[in-house]
Amino acid sequence: MGVPLYGRSWTLARSDNNSPGASAVGPGRPGPYVKESGNLAFFECCLAIQKEGWSKVTGVGGPYITKGKQWVGYDDVEAVTQKAQYAIDKGLGGVMVWDLSSDDFGNLCGYGKNPLLTAIARTLNL
């Protein structure tokens, strides 16, 4: 099963409608590190929450963050843990991730180094 260590971002048509399925007009703004429209590394997502005032929404099939017309769906530690457990429960052959450089390898967010990979490995007893 594939598990992304990055988020996909969109620029919404309206800032007052940011639920999943809201109309988008194009990719989201690039982050300060990856610098690619529509793509943010996990660590860019958590830094956006901690330092830029983005709002995090959970409990909808996976977390997402919003600020104004910007919307990013991504996987956090809880989401990747649930996905790894799903792979175990369903007897899948394993979990693959893409891409390693999108995890928080420098502990910029304060969750320790590589929190997503660590959560997956812990769940899979690796």
Domain boundaries, the chain: 2-123
Chunked into runs of 10 residues, the chain (126 residues) has average pLDDT values of 97 95 97 97 98 92 95 97 98 95 97 98 95
pTM of the predicted model as reported, rounded to 2 decimal places: 0.93
Dihedral (CA of 3, 82, 58, 114) sign: negative
Are residues 26 and 11 in contact, defined by beta-carbon separation less than 8 angstroms?
yes
2-123 — its CATH code?
3.10.50.10
Distance set, CA 92 to CA 1, 8, 35 (Å): 7, 25, 34
Contact 13, 23 (CB under 8 A): yes
> d(Cα 22, Cα 84) in Å, to the nearest integer?
28
Tens-digit pLDDT profile for residues 14-47: 999 999 899 999 999 999 999 999 999 999 999 9
